[in-house]
Structure 1
Amino acid sequence: MQTQQLDVHEQPSDDVALADAAISRLRQLSMKLAMAQLNIEVFDAMQPLEDDWRALERDNHQSLHQSYDWCAAWVSAFQRPLAIVKATHAGQTVFILPVEIVKSRGLRTARFIAADHSNINTGLFAESFAEAGRTIAPHEFAGQLRHALQGRADLLLLQNIPLEWRGRESPLAGLPMVQNQNHAYQLPFLPAFEDTLKQLNAKNRRKKFRVQSKRLEAAGGFEYVIPETSAEQHGLLDIFFRLKSARFASLGLPDVFADRETQTFLHGLIDKQDDTRQYFGLQMHMIRLKGEHEGKIAAISGISRKGDHIICQFGAIDEELLPDTSPGEFLYWQTISGLHGKGVALFDFGLGDQTYKRSWAPVETAHYDVVLPVSPFGVVAGAAHRLVTRGKAHIKVRPKLYKFAQGIRARIG
């Protein structure tokens, strides 16, 4: 490593150092004044915010999971009380935090709407406010959020937030946080599919695809299908629920898609789309077999799109049909290759460390949880969340311990 020394005449003078310090203090003071001038309101309904909400969500940096249509589908299905935080400055909306109140054992937790089924959360921030994120005074920001939620929540728990997303630092990064036990995995798209594959072990992946194709053709053939009608899309989602339920049962795990509200929410997303197809809440894809297994579905996935960002929400396979073809992996190849040339920049496999994700995704993104107590009860609950989250993270990076914990979970049911 080389170092460079400045000539004595080039050394920064005390005056310059003092000037830099003064500018830094002025910037901090300016942001504190701006924070003091924020007008924060809390809304118990989405409709009054729709115009401002949709204007903020146009920014590619805002997650699909905070989009108006995504949240509206969840609110319609679950009917939980809302405490949506909106901030304005100089008459302009600068951020919206789409928050609902989840009550459990006397604790009122303010969480992102649909947090249980979100792979990435950002909140909704005006670009000017987001760009100033590094100079936001964390203590003042936290204090304003606490004040806004007093009487409504005991704990503000905003989960699965990347500290930096697509080159922009999160304005939430200065709040009290703990690293989430789960990471997310992404595949950046390059202009051509072959270029995208070069980010991976392209030779092995192409070889695997050829082997899968030959086995599927030997069994009678296949077709990759994106159902065109709403009725077909809804029907395929119901088939996914059945396949996933059988999979969870075989593992002795709880079925996170089993409750009526979650199924209603996901069905509601299918019809949320714009005319340009640059936004859709949920779109179902499948590998359907021919020949001996004519009409049977070997693999299903559900993806969402906002702008140039695709998120894979879930997938399932029929484990009794041609398991040696790895139909789930084969479906990802078809989906990813088919999306090239359609304005997609990023394919997101979402949360959870799984082998197939690592094989497809060269980018791994750590997520964090904002843990901000609002009441004394929230202080205790926040400490418990930190402890549990760190414990899960400790277990997940130790394969033998993780396998042991999964076995216990399966036995408990």
Structure 2
Amino acid sequence: MTMKLHSDMASVETIWRLLEADPLNSLHQGYDWCRAWEFTHHRPVAILEGCMGQETAFLLPLEIRQDGPVRKAQFMGSEFSNINTGLIASRHRRELAALDRKELAAALRNAVKDVADLIWLSNVPLRWRGVQHPFAGLDSVENQNHAFQLELRPTMEETIAPLNAKRRRKKYRTQLRKIEAVGTFEHVKPKEAIEKQVLLDLFFEQKRKRFEALGLPDVFQAAETQAFFHLLLEADRGGSNIPLELHALRLNLGGEHQIAAISGLSRKGDHVICQFGSIEPDCLPEASPGELLFWLMIEQESADGQSLFDFGIGDQDYKRSWCNIETVHHDIVLPINAKGQLAALALKLTTKTKALIKGNPKLYAFIQRLRAGKAKRNSTVEAPED
């Protein structure tokens, strides 16, 4: 096995697009996803190519992120990816899995030793759709966030059968009655470019208000982040792989149209990933418009023949209520030098601490209440005296 390091995407685009077609390779390592990220964030690119003889066995689309004094090689756009696999050539999976783990780790470190202090491959499922990842033997730490998926079947009735179907149908009918008492609704999937861009900007605004109310930093606030998602909307090349498409629930309440909920989906073959979602908090909240939009999307994806609806990483009650599959993600950690070793220890400790907090529902709820209280205090402005 030999390793090559590429500093630009165009030099490996042809083999990249061949590898991304494999259904086991994550959409987040697809060329269009990474190209949109690189174009908007301008971080140094470090694409690792592993070769078996003259054939490419894998590509790892990495970027170099400067965290203080530490240069970290990580998946491109990993801040917003829900599953990372790298790009593995199907015909070489067994050969890669059979490699000596120490030799593989040494080869990866050696390939980037001049540009990075640490390799940190986050959110990698060591086993995905019944297949073990060929890098599963490398040093890793369990990520604090698991991912949740729903197995889709040909009809909505079959899909919800394992999910306490009676309760879920009752909730759906209740939502419909609450909306029909005051108006109508429509499941919207914009087709025109301008409609998509306007809806995406509305999502950013809804999410801003939501983060502010919870006392959390707005991860979508940065101009380059918003530009990234706008570019993804333009990257649809047709076929079964779609970087980003938008869905919305539009309510007609007394002749006034309002977007009550928005979701962004990605598609990789028969795998549908929910990248993000938002709600308008004052728009008929008693009807749970976000939950209703999930029903409508899942119903459509089932009818369209998709096999897996992925709610992405993060443990939340609404995900558990929908999902019958829980996927554990790991972060693969390969320090390259002394500086990287210290950074790896710190990152592992942080990850384990977060996992400990999230594994204790009472402690996690207490911290969330503290954040919400802080946000409320920060948003309070005293009226000036006369």
TM over 0.5: yes
Structure 2 SS opposite 1:227: coil
Give the Cα–Cα distance (whole angstroms) in 2 for the partners of residues 39 and 199 of structure 1. 47
Q: Do structure 1's residue 174 and structure 2's residue 137 form an aligned pair?
A: yes
Q: Which string of whole-angstrom CA distances, capped at 9 and with x for unpartnered residues, describes residues 208-264 of structure 1?
A: 000001111111111111011111011100000000000111111100000001000
Question: Which structure 2 residues correspond to residues 12-411 of structure 1 after superposition, within 5 A?
Answer: 38-276=1-239, 278-292=240-254, 294-409=256-371
* Contact 1:78/1:261 (8 A) holds in 2: yes
Question: Letter of the aligned partner of 1:353 in structure 2?
Answer: D
The CA deviation at 1:407 is 3.9
Structure 2 SS opposite 1:200: coil
Q: Which string of whole-angstrom CA distances, capped at 9 and with x for unpartnered residues, describes residues 17-52 of structure 1?
A: xxxxxxxxxxxxxxxxxxxxx121111110011110
* Contact 2:72/2:116 (8 A) holds in 1: yes
Give the Cα–Cα distance (whole angstroms) in 2 for the partners of residues 76 and 98 of structure 1. 14
* Contact 2:159/2:302 (8 A) holds in 1: no
Question: Letter of the aligned partner of 1:300 in structure 2?
Answer: I
Question: Letter of the aligned partner of 2:209 in structure 1?
Answer: A
The CA deviation at 1:280 is 1.3
CA distance 1:363–1:172, change in 2 (3 Å):
same
* Contact 1:130/1:169 (8 A) holds in 2: no
* Contact 1:157/1:369 (8 A) holds in 2: yes
Question: Letter of the aligned partner of 2:188 in structure 1?
Answer: V
Structure 1 SS opposite 2:178: helix
Question: Letter of the aligned partner of 1:97 in structure 2?
Answer: L
Question: Letter of the aligned partner of 1:383 in structure 2?
Answer: L
The CA deviation at 1:168 is 1.1
CA distance 1:379–1:325, change in 2 (3 Å):
same
Question: Letter of the aligned partner of 2:331 in structure 1?
Answer: D
Give the Cα–Cα distance (whole angstroms) in 2 for the partners of residues 355 and 409 of structure 1. 19
Can you give the 5+ residue segments of structure 1 that lack an aligned partner in the other structure? 1-37
CA distance 1:309–1:70, change in 2 (3 Å):
same
Give the Cα–Cα distance (whole angstroms) in 1 for the partners of residues 59 and 212 of structure 2. 39
The CA deviation at 1:409 is 4.5
* Contact 1:41/1:86 (8 A) holds in 2: yes
Structure 2 SS opposite 1:221: strand
CA distance 1:382–1:197, change in 2 (3 Å):
same
Can you give the 5+ residue segments of structure 2 that lack an aligned partner in the other structure? 376-386
Structure 2 SS opposite 1:98: strand
The CA deviation at 1:411 is 6.2
Cα RMSD between the aligned structures? 1.2
Give the Cα–Cα distance (whole angstroms) in 1 for the partners of residues 162 and 285 of structure 2. 27
1:3 maps to none
The CA deviation at 1:128 is 2.4
* Contact 1:257/1:263 (8 A) holds in 2: yes
The CA deviation at 1:192 is 2.0
Aligned length: 375
Q: Which string of whole-angstrom CA distances, capped at 9 and with x for unpartnered residues, describes residues 88-134 of structure 1?
A: 12211110000000002111000000000000000001112223444
Structure 1 SS opposite 2:320: helix
Q: Which string of whole-angstrom CA distances, capped at 9 and with x for unpartnered residues, describes residues 305-337 of structure 1?
A: 111110000111111010000000000000110
Q: Which range moves more in the overlay, 267-276 or 116-125?
A: 267-276
Structure 1 SS opposite 2:221: coil
Question: Letter of the aligned partner of 1:386 in structure 2?
Answer: K
Structure 2 SS opposite 1:41: strand
**Matched residues, percent identical?**
47
